[in-house]
Amino acid sequence: MERLILSEKDSVEINADGLFYKDMNKLMRDTVLANNLTNAKLTNVYGQRYIGTNMDRSIKIQVYGTPGNDLGAFMNGSTVEVFGNAQDGCGNTMNAGEIIIHGSAGDILGISARGGEIYVKGNVGYRVGIHMKEYKEKKPVLVIGGTAQDFLGEYMAGGILILLGLGLKEGEKHKATFIGTGMHGGVMYISGDLDKRQLGKEVGQVEMGDNDKQALEKYVGKFANYFGYNAGELLNRPFAKIIPTSLRPYGKLYAY
């Protein structure tokens, strides 16, 4: 198979088999810039890191296989669709754009993200959404179809994190404990069974408002669209809204 196929529709297909990540990412970037492309398709991806990181223009990237760590790190506007599972650090310090994962993702998904949206069909690992932040209208959004491991939304300073719990069996609770430990901004919406003791001590559950419903309709709607679910059915499930009890969790720690 050829390494590189340019199609007429502003698109390139790169066979990543055996390519070092640095060379693969550079090849994609150079080809996209040289030919003014808007689409790239990477096939036979086996653990190559930092896909989308070096793109300073917004393009659409399709990834077939298993991308490596830090997928979409620092990404600024591109869309990455993964037909497989993502590893750790996906969306690390992402600024804008979208990542759609037709599978599961590893630890620290969306770490320190400042913007952009990430949709994961399956489950996610530990410390997902850690230290996401927001500024005015600029908010990162994570929508996770399955469940998450411990420390979900730890240190969260902003953004929206939606956990749907679709894979959970009848009566089965979410995996995560210490949810929202150190959280001091942003909001989580969690559907599926959850015990109060699974929450960290800095967060609490509050009533949903109209704004919350609008946000859920928008992002759960997109999730349903990407992964072939019925949006109405997903939205009819009960959601728990989790927010921090203080914007300054450590304000009283010091002797002035």
Q: Which stretch binds another protein (CB under 8 A): 34-42, 67-75, 162-170, 198-206?
A: 67-75
Secondary structure letter of residue 245 according to DSSP? S
Distances in Å between the alpha carbon of 50 and those of 20, 72, 146?
A: 11, 6, 24
DSSP string, 23-76: HHHHHHHHHHHHHT-SEEEEEEEES---TTTT--S--EEEEEEE--SSTTTT-E
> In the complex, what is the shortest distance from the CB of residue 255 to another protein, in angstroms, rounded to a whole number?
3
171 binds another protein (CB under 8 A): no
Interaction with another protein in 117-146: which residues (CB under 8 A)? 127, 130-131, 133-136, 138
Nearest to 41 by CA among 57, 17, 66, 64: 64
Can you tell me whether residue 85 is helix, strand or coil? coil
What sign for the dihedral angle of Cα 159, 164, 165, 167?
negative
For residue 48, which of 20, 90, 81, 84 has the smallest C-alpha distance? Answer: 20
Rounded to a whole number of angstroms, the minimum distance from the CB of residue 108 to another protein is 6
**Contacting range for another protein; rule: CB under 8 A; set: 7-15, 105-113, 194-202, 224-232:** 105-113
Q: Is 88 in the site for another protein (CB under 8 A)?
A: yes
Contact status: 54 vs another protein (CB under 8 A): yes
**89 near another protein, rule: CB under 8 A:** yes
Name the residue among 110, 13, 106, 8 with its Cα closest to residue 63. Answer: 13
Binding flag, residue 76, another protein (CB under 8 A): yes
Which of 181, 191 has the CB closer to another protein? 181
Check binding of 155 to another protein (CB under 8 A).
yes
- Minimum Å gap between C-beta 166 and another protein is 27
Q: Which is nearer to another protein, 68 or 122 (CB)?
A: 68
Q: What is the rounded distance in angstroms from the CA atom of residue 22 to the CA atom of residue 45?
A: 13
- Total site size for another protein, rule CB under 8 A: 46
Q: Which residues bind another protein (CB under 8 A)?
A: 22, 25, 49-50, 53-54, 56, 69-70, 73-74, 76, 88-89, 92-93, 95, 108, 111-112, 114, 127, 130-131, 133-136, 138, 154-155, 157-158, 182, 184-185, 247-256
